[in-house]
Amino acid sequence: MKKLIAGATALAASAMLAMTPVAANAKTITLCWAAWDPANALVELSKDYTAKSGVDMKFEFVPWPNFADRMLNELNSKGKLCDLLIGDSQWIGGSAENGHYVKLNDFFAKEGIKMDDFMPATVTGYSEWPKGTPNYWALPAMGDALGWTYRKDWFAKPELRDAFKKQYNRDLEPPKTLDELVDIAKFFQGREVDGKKVYGAAIFTERGSEGITMGVSNFLYPYGFKYQDPKKPYSMEGFVNSDGAVKGLEAYKALYKCCTPPGYTDAYMGEGLDAFKSGQVALQMNWFAFFPGLYKDEKVGGDKIGFFVNPKGPAGSGSQLGGQGLSVVAYSPNQAEALAYIKWFANPEVQKKWWSMGGYSAHKAVLNDPGFAKTAPFAADFLVAMGQVMDFWADPSYAQLLLSEQKRIHDYIVADKGTAKEALDGMIKDWTKVFKDDGKL
């Protein structure tokens, strides 16, 4: 509680300063994020902020494999490198409770920035701590979810369409269910297309950071997996290891075993992009954030690529939430200018330009526009995905929770150790210890 009060006090002072006119080029602020295409788009977008405010922008972009370690070390050491940080959704609990982020409620209220103007899932995922309470530590900045790409040109080949219909008694079209997705992956696995042997699907299997957890979630959620009893927080028995969750984990392993490229034992975002761009796979699981770049790709983009939202499972729909919120770092000496940047970024017109440049706005003024679905070939699917997303634990101990799932799931899926039920039971055991140590059980 003391940390929350201290954050609010700092905010009040910063909010007052934020409205003070800034002399041209009097200040430079640094925004930290991961190194990827949306970050490059933000550099271009932010030139408008500099032109309007006179505040110069610097950027510290870190490759994804090193992003979490680099930025969390910066926060834990109370470093002053970052004035603004676009941090992962899982960091919000720890960053709030440890005093790393400035609490934004008073600033939002003063400037008329309303969380109701943003997609509910992004507010919960990127901004709130504790979850379900109106305590905000970030502005939704980069909406994202896991989706799928497919080789639209392969799906259109008459000989493949005929062969698929003969085998499965339905047309070769983007799948509506996970069972249909697996059928398509099986159909393409080892098949020759355009004189080249191809494979079914590029999915996430990486163990070192978060990869396999993010990937398997796209099967667990639609099969009924839940992190906890909705009526009893941190009570996991029968939810993490439900019968449906067991079947979902088994189904993901079956897809991995039957239908991925050879040696695909430690693959995440980059490996999936490489597999798709090189023409190895018919289907690819990846984040919507990469879809604008893929659509522009000379070899597999344009008319050759199609997109679809994560298909339904026996328990309904579900997609893994990605994306990040924009926070003011509590150790920044330039909080006034950082808050002013957030005010500028929250403007609906800026958000529309953000989307047009390749960023993923979470603002309803953009997403609820009647013409939004036609602004990009993946826009309509993105809307659907953001309406069905779920996220991993955001508790301060999320890293320990994630390491447990990474090990348990990778051991079962890739290393063939034990059963799906044993893997999920083991996660409950590990997670229960973490929450007991945290005093939550």
In tens, the pLDDT along 126-141 reads: 999 999 999 999 999 9
Q: Is the pLDDT of residue 43 over 80?
A: yes
Facing residues of 347 across strands? none
Q: Is the pLDDT of residue 284 over 90?
A: yes
Q: Look at residue 4 in the predicted model and tell me its pLDDT.
A: 33
Q: Are residues 178 and 194 in the same domain?
A: yes
Q: Is the pLDDT of residue 13 over 70?
A: no
- The CA dihedral of 335, 394, 403, 235, to the nearest 10 degrees, is 160
Does residue 65 belong to any structural domain of this protein?
yes
Does residue 420 belong to any structural domain of this protein?
no
Q: In whole angstroms, what is the distance from residue 41 CA to residue 357 CA?
A: 6
Of 48, 45, 90, which is closest to residue 68 (Cα–Cα)? Answer: 90
Q: Look at residue 79 in the predicted model and tell me its pLDDT.
A: 97
Q: Residue 216: CA atoms inside 13 Å, Cβ hemisphere, count?
A: 36
pLDDT category at 9 given cuts 50, 70, 90 is very low
Q: Are residues 103 and 160 in the same domain?
A: no
pLDDT digit string, tens, across residues 65-101 = 899 999 999 999 999 999 999 999 999 999 999 999 9
Does residue 88 belong to any structural domain of this protein?
yes
Retrieve residue 207's tokens. 């163990």
pLDDT digit string, tens, across residues 347-393 = 999 999 999 999 999 999 999 999 999 999 999 999 999 999 999 99
Q: In whole angstroms, what is the distance from residue 44 CA to residue 199 CA?
A: 38
Which residue has better confidence, 123 or 5?
123
Q: Are residues 303 and 342 in the same domain?
A: no
Of 420, 357, 387, which is closest to residue 44 (Cα–Cα)? Answer: 357
Q: Are residues 161 and 229 in the same domain?
A: yes
Does residue 441 belong to any structural domain of this protein?
no
pLDDT digit string, tens, across residues 164-220 = 999 999 999 999 999 999 999 999 999 999 999 999 999 999 999 999 999 999 999
Per-residue 3-state assignment (H helix, E strand, C coil) for the chain:
CHHHHHHHHHHHHHHHHHCCCCCCCCCEEEEEEECCHHHHHHHHHHHHHHHHHCCEEEEEEECHHHHHHHHHHHHHCCCCCCCEEEEEHHHHHHHHHCCCECCCHHHHHHHCCCHHHECHHHHHHHHECCCCCCCECCEEEEEEEEEEEEEHHHHCCHHHHHHHHHHHCCCCCCCCEHHHHHHHHHHHCCCEECCEECEEEECCCCCCCCHHHHHHHHHHHHHCCCCCECCECCCCCCCCCCHHHHHHHHHHHHHHHHHCCCCCCCCCHHHHHHHHHCCCEEEEEEEHHHHHHHHHCCCCCHHHEEEEECCEECCECCEEEEEEEEEEECCCCCHHHHHHHHHHHCCHHHHHHHHHCCCCCCEHHHHCCCCHHHCCCCHHHHHHHHCCEECCCCCCCHHHHHHHHHHHHHHHHCCCCCCHHHHHHHHHHHHHHHHHHCCCC
Of 333, 339, 363, which is closest to residue 110 (Cα–Cα)? Answer: 339
CATH number at residue 253: 3.40.190.10
Q: Are residues 248 and 370 in the same domain?
A: no
pLDDT category at 312 given cuts 50, 70, 90 is very high
Q: Are residues 30 and 54 in the same domain?
A: yes
Q: Is the pLDDT of residue 8 over 60?
A: no
Which residues span the domain enclosing 43?
Answer: 2-144+322-390
Distances (CA, A) of 290 to 322, 368, 374, 398: 12, 22, 18, 25
Q: Which amino acid is at 39?
A: A
Q: Among 320, 348, 378, which residue terminates a domain?
A: 320
Does residue 408 belong to any structural domain of this protein?
no
Q: Are residues 150 and 299 in the same domain?
A: yes
Residue 79: CB atoms within 10 A of its CB come to 14
Q: In whole angstroms, what is the distance from residue 314 CA to residue 412 CA?
A: 22
Q: Look at residue 10 in the predicted model and tell me its pLDDT.
A: 38
Does residue 288 belong to any structural domain of this protein?
yes
The pTM for the full model equals 0.92
Of 289, 416, 441, 265, which is closest to residue 355 (Cα–Cα)? Answer: 289
- Rounded mean pLDDT, 154-161: 98
Q: Is the pLDDT of residue 11 over 50?
A: no
Q: Is the pLDDT of residue 12 over 60?
A: no
Q: In whole angstroms, what is the distance from residue 103 CA to residue 118 CA?
A: 18
In whole numbers, what is the pLDDT of the chain averaged over residues?
94
- Rounded mean pLDDT, 308-337: 98
Q: Look at residue 3 in the predicted model and tell me its pLDDT.
A: 32
Q: Are residues 363 and 300 in the same domain?
A: no
Q: In whole angstroms, what is the distance from residue 143 CA to residue 247 CA?
A: 29
pLDDT category at 26 given cuts 50, 70, 90 is confident
pLDDT digit string, tens, across residues 141-151 = 999 999 999 99
Does residue 414 belong to any structural domain of this protein?
no
Q: Look at residue 249 in the predicted model and tell me its pLDDT.
A: 98
- Rounded mean pLDDT, 411-437: 98
Q: Percent of the chain beyond pLDDT 70?
A: 94
Q: Are residues 160 and 305 in the same domain?
A: yes
Q: Are residues 115 and 18 in the same domain?
A: yes
Does residue 433 belong to any structural domain of this protein?
no
Q: Are residues 281 and 153 in the same domain?
A: yes
Q: Are residues 22 and 91 in the same domain?
A: yes
Retrieve residue 385's tokens. 């995905």
Q: In whole angstroms, what is the distance from residue 327 CA to residue 171 CA?
A: 47
Q: Percent of the chain beyond pLDDT 90?
A: 94
pLDDT category at 435 given cuts 50, 70, 90 is very high
Q: In whole angstroms, what is the distance from residue 356 CA to residue 361 CA?
A: 9
Domain count of the fold of the chain: 2
Question: Contact, 215 vs 252, CB < 8 A?
Answer: yes
